[in-house]
Structure formats: C-alpha cells, structure tokens
Amino acid sequence: MNSDTPGAIPHGEDAVSLLTGQHRRLEALLKALVDSEDGGERNALLSQAGDELAVHISAEEQVFYPAVRALRTEDILLESLEEHLSLKRLLADLLELSPGEETFAPKCKVLEEQARHHHEEEEEHLFPAVRRRMDASDLQRLGRAVHEHEAGLQAAGRPREDVRNQTDAAAPLT
C-alpha cells in the first residue's frame, strides 16, 4: 500500500518498510475520515480505511508476528494483539453506524488516535528490535509473504467485514 496500486510491494521492499508505509497510509485515511463532514465521503473513506486496516492487521497477526516471535519480542507482540482487538472492535462498531449518528465522529477520532498510538509503539519498539535481529534477506522474504497474504485478502473482497467476527478476544500469538 506504498504505491498507487493498493497492496503493491516495490521489488525488494522489506517487511518493516512495507508495514511502516502502510501505517502512514492508514493514518492519512483515518485523518481524512475524521475531517470529513460529508456522509457519502465518510462511507467511502470508512470502507477504504476499514479494508486496509483489516488487511494490515491480518498480515501482522498471521504472517509478521509469528515470524518475529522467536526474536525475543513476545511482550511487545502480546500488547500489539490487544491493541489490534481494540481497533477491530472500533471498526466493527463503526460499520454498524450511519455517518450521521451522534457517536460516528467520536468513534472515528478514537480509531484514528488508537491506530496512531499502535503504529508508534510498533515503530519505536518492535520494528527496531526486528531490524537488529533479522538480516536484510529474511526481512525481504517476510515482506513478500506479508504482501502475498494481503493480496489474497484483498482479492477475496471486503476484508473489513471479517473484522465483525474477530472482536471476542485478541488473536492468539502463534
């Protein structure tokens, strides 16, 4: 999600760079959602941001976190999984609301703030640890695996809808 083609990965981009680029894109989308006052635009932005957030979270939980768990990152990963649960719950709540409802804008703001906080935590703690402990070729292979996972979810369509069934508990650290 670093290029004009959603989900595209530049040749050789490593997993940390890929995920960090997605963080910036998600933050921009969520800010646009918060700033929008038009109901139709809000719906479109929520659909786009929701899909990209769902895909990003899934790739981290299913591909990235398991690959870096052995690098003595378990405490950070467990906290990240709890943050993902909070983001999924907010997204699921928003999907049930109309943009004109009283709680829509405040939930959007909380989603934006929590996503930004989560990204900061990963970028300050997890990603530097991963870069220190994983060589460049492994990070590139992991980037390709993340991209392939995300492409599959995007091809299936409407990944945001899957989040509705993922709000009971944090994903397990596998």
Q: d(Cα 122, Cα 124) in Å, to the nearest integer?
A: 6
Q: Which domain holds residue 151?
A: 15-165
Total tally of structural domains belonging to the chain: 1
Please give the pLDDT value at position 70: 87
Residue-level pLDDT, tens digit, the chain, 174 residues: 444 444 444 556 899 999 999 999 999 999 999 999 999 999 999 999 999 999 999 999 999 999 999 888 889 999 999 999 999 999 999 999 999 999 999 999 999 999 999 999 999 999 999 999 999 999 999 999 999 999 999 999 889 999 999 999 999 988
Please give the pLDDT value at position 36: 96
pTM of structure:
0.90
Please give the pLDDT value at position 72: 84
Using DSSP's 3-state secondary structure scheme, residue 97 falls into coil
In a domain, 146, yes or no: yes
Please give the pLDDT value at position 158: 87
Please give the pLDDT value at position 12: 62
Q: d(Cα 121, Cα 117) in Å, to the nearest integer?
A: 6
CATH code for the domain of 21: 1.20.120.520
- Confirm if 143 and 13 have CB atoms less than 8 A apart: yes
Residues in contact with 154: Cβ distance below 8 Å, sequence separation at least 6, in sequence order: 6, 7, 51, 55
- Confirm if 39 and 30 have CB atoms less than 8 A apart: no
In a domain, 170, yes or no: no
In a domain, 142, yes or no: yes
Both tokens of 55, joined, read 């895909």
In a domain, 8, yes or no: no
In a domain, 144, yes or no: yes
Q: d(Cα 56, Cα 46) in Å, to the nearest integer?
A: 15
Please give the pLDDT value at position 168: 93
